[in-house]
Amino acid sequence: MGALRMKRQNEKKSLLILNLMPNKLETEKQLNYVFKNNNEILEKTYCYPGTHHFKSIQPKEVKERYRSFEEIKGNQYDGLLITGAPVEHIPFNDVDYWDEFCQIIEWSKNHCKKSLLLCWAAQAGMYCIARVPKRICTEKVFGIYKLNIQSEKHELLRGLDDNMCMPFSRYSTNNVEDLSGGAFDVIADSPDVGPVIIETKDQKFTFVTGHPEYETKTLDEEYKRDVNKGKKIKKPANYYASHDNKIINTWTTYSQQLFNNWVKSL
């Protein structure tokens, strides 16, 4: 029985990644790191919404390896991962690829075993499925926040505990009251940032409202970028050591375990 389980865990699994971030290669690097225990068994296909109008010129490597949704929609995949996107200040319906995003969510129900949506994609996915509204925050949710694990026995939360932390970088949030209609289960939350890990009742969709994939210096780079642009922004919370601004990574081990659990569930 143990040998059979090990064989299944080592079988190749197909993963479609809809990368909505502007710096696609940087996001790939981040995802490869949190998937590091599974990179050898994951056959990744990178995708972009064909209706999106890119504001920047994409590297040659991206143009060569990425496929439009139209090109891959006839395929079947074990998993779908959708990244965040820096568009949380825009109403969902005004995002240029919104119709295609919703089409992909609907398509995935019959073409992917499970889907994992991060940050903006998590909020957008819940709105697309059940019209869960996002709430614009008065200031940016920015920093490292500890989570409350609701069920340590849940397959996605195995090996995790209430010391689990996660990076957040967004201007919008969801209220737990908006998730109480029966379509979702909140399996991890935070008093500071609200619902964090949410599932549909059938466990087909998992929504993570933070950025578990962020590397050690990502929030530091975002903070300095915004300061240089003249934006009024507070330092990321619970991120820098108070005496010397040294960064202590408290989240990546947990993020890797979360992603590992999700891959095992496919």
213 is catalytic: yes
221 is catalytic: no
CA quadruple 165, 247, 262, 86: dihedral positive or negative?
positive
Instruction: Give the CA-trace dihedral at 24, 188, 105, 20, to 10 degrees.
Output: -10
Distance CA 158, CA 33 (A): 19
Q: Report the Cα–Cα distance between both ends of the chain, in Å, rounded.
A: 19
Catalytic residue among 100, 199, 213, 222: 213
Catalytic residue among 47, 112, 119, 128: 119
- Cβ count near 54 (within 10 Å): 10
Q: Are 77 and 104 in contact (CB under 8 A)?
A: no
119 is catalytic: yes
169 annotated binding-site participant = yes
Task: Note the Cα 191 to chain centre separation in Å.
Answer: 20
Catalytic residue among 28, 88, 211, 222: 211
135 annotated binding-site participant = no
Q: Write out the binding residues.
A: 140, 169, 225
Q: Write out the binding residues for substrate.
A: 140, 169, 225
Catalytic residues: 119, 211, 213
